[in-house]
């Protein structure tokens, strides 16, 4: 059993490139650079394998956080629409007004 339930696996997968993956991958890469800089090593050229590892781990975590986020929001939407379906009296549509009915008449003062 993992973080995601069987219901979450039914949802379509998010794109490989999403905001969480990009952000956490970038944070992983910066972590490797910061580690090199704190050890007074040439931070861009030393430990490239560690930079790739931290970036890919951050990307992986971001991808699964996006999946978890999509599942959470889908579950909340399902519960909200079910509540609306069971209580239609609470969610009656309002009569539509034209813009002229909403705004007051304009009388310029000179």
Share of the chain above pLDDT 90, in %: 68
Average pLDDT on 35-45 reads: 90
Rounded-to-integer distance, Cα 22 and Cα 59, Å: 7
67, 8 Cβ separation under 8 angstroms: yes
Q: What pLDDT is attached to residue 2? A: 72
Number of Cβ within a 10 Å radius of residue 8: 16
Looking only at Cα atoms, what is the longest distance across the chain?
Answer: 74
pLDDT at residue 32 above 90?
Answer: yes
pTM for this entry: 0.77
At 46-100, the pLDDT tens digits run 999 999 999 999 999 999 999 999 999 999 999 999 999 999 999 998 889 898 8
Rounded-to-integer distance, Cα 26 and Cα 41, Å: 20
Q: What pLDDT is attached to residue 1? A: 47
Helix axes 19-38, 48-86, angle to 10 degrees: 150
Six-digit token string for 13 = 């997968």
Q: Where residue 13 falls among pLDDT bands split at 50, 70, 90?
A: very high
């Amino acid at each position: 059993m993992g973080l995601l339930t069987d219901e979450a696996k039914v949802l379509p997968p998010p794109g490989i490139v999403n905001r969480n993956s990009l952000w956490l991958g970038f944070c992983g890469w910066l972590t490797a650079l910061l580690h090199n800089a704190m050890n007074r090593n040439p931070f861009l050229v030393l430990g490239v394998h560690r930079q790739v590892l931290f970036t890919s781990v951050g990307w992986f975590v971001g991808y699964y956080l996006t999946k978890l986020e999509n599942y959470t929001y889908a579950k909340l939407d399902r519960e909200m629409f079910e509540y609306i379906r069971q209580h239609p009296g609470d969610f009656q549509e309002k009569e539509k007004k034209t813009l002229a009915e909403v705004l007051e008449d304009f009388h310029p003062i000179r």
